[in-house]
Copies of this chain bind each other. A is one copy, B any other.
């Protein structure tokens, strides 16, 4: 069974579910970044969310659509990152139970963050696949809801940030979005192209994790090697439903090297005074790579999340 592609209607319908608990995030213009890129550059600050990342919009939309049985049994997912925090946060505000499976070697800081939002974190198995299978089996056994990171309700929820971009800057010409599992870029594509097909939507990913880009380019689902430091976009196996949407709505999909992403993290700190994780800096790295085609344009970079660890930050700042 393939789910239908979400539409602008799904995004508009998600807004009350999102704004009941979140404020719109700012879209700020930065003169310093504009000079660097040679365009007019705005940043959409999804790092300002209570979880530090855009995904929480999707989690909140999903919670509003649960059946009574699902509410009783709670949510199940597997994630060590922003998706896990999103589900933990959203479950908390709805007073529901969230069980999040992580591999036994999971990063303790991220586990603490999910527990801080009240989720039950269960260590299970040596790797992510084992953890996910366990979470799925638990959801089935208990009549709960297993939440995939590309669930259509998540896409509808995260699409609300794209609407905010266009409402704040109707004259936007290009939006550059980092691609991990693809929920963010799909939300932007659906909203931007439905409202104004002239808005150019560009996906960007680390060259050290090209599965989603190669799949988009080839029209096939292609697994690829994955060695990026940017865990928010560390996708090895492509997601079919987001690929289908991306083929319909994306104008381009570029790859940038990890070294350029690290430089972009520093530039973002210097010019915007915001912390960004690797994924959140990818749009700036991509804009610098695409300078020639962006000359003079009104460009929005989606700073998808700010959850970088101190260790990573020290490493990047010191070298």
Residues of chain A having any CB pair with chain B under 8 Å: 23-24, 26, 28-32, 45, 47-48, 50, 52, 109, 112-113, 115-117, 266, 269-270, 272-275, 277, 306-308, 310, 313-314, 317-318
- Interface pair B31/A269, CB less than 8 Å apart: no
**In the complex this chain forms, how many copies of it are found?**
2
The verdict on A270 contacting B310 (CB below 8 Å), with A31-B117, A32-B116, A318-B318 known, is: yes
**Chain B residues, Cβ within 8 Å of A32:** 112-113, 116
- Interface pair A310/B48, CB less than 8 Å apart: no
Q: List 18 A-B contacts (CB under 8 A).
A: A23-B23, A23-B26, A30-B116, A31-B113, A31-B117, A48-B48, A52-B272, A52-B273, A266-B310, A270-B310, A273-B275, A273-B277, A273-B308, A275-B275, A313-B317, A314-B317, A314-B318, A318-B318
| New contact pairs (7) apart from A52-B272, A269-B310, CB-CB < 8 Å | A32-B113, A45-B48, A48-B48, A273-B307, A274-B275, A314-B318, A318-B318
**Chain B residues, Cβ within 8 Å of A23:** 23-24, 26
CB distance from A210 to the nearest CB of B (A): 27
Task: Tell me which of B26, B29, B31, B109 contacts A48 (CB under 8 A).
Answer: B26
- Interface pair A31/B116, CB less than 8 Å apart: yes
A270 to B50, CA, bound (A): 14
**Chain B residues, Cβ within 8 Å of A272:** 52
**Chain B residues, Cβ within 8 Å of A313:** 269, 317
**Chain B residues, Cβ within 8 Å of A314:** 317-318
**Chain B residues, Cβ within 8 Å of A275:** 269, 273-275
Question: Which chain B residue shows the least CB distance to A48?
Answer: B48
CB distance from A262 to the nearest CB of B (A): 14
**Chain B residues, Cβ within 8 Å of A318:** 314, 317-318
A18 to B174, CA, bound (A): 29
**Chain B residues, Cβ within 8 Å of A112:** 31-32
**Chain B residues, Cβ within 8 Å of A266:** 310
A145 to B28, CA, bound (A): 27
**Chain B residues, Cβ within 8 Å of A307:** 273
**Chain B residues, Cβ within 8 Å of A31:** 112-113, 115-117
Task: Tell me which of B26, B48, B52, B109 contacts A50 (CB under 8 A).
Answer: B26
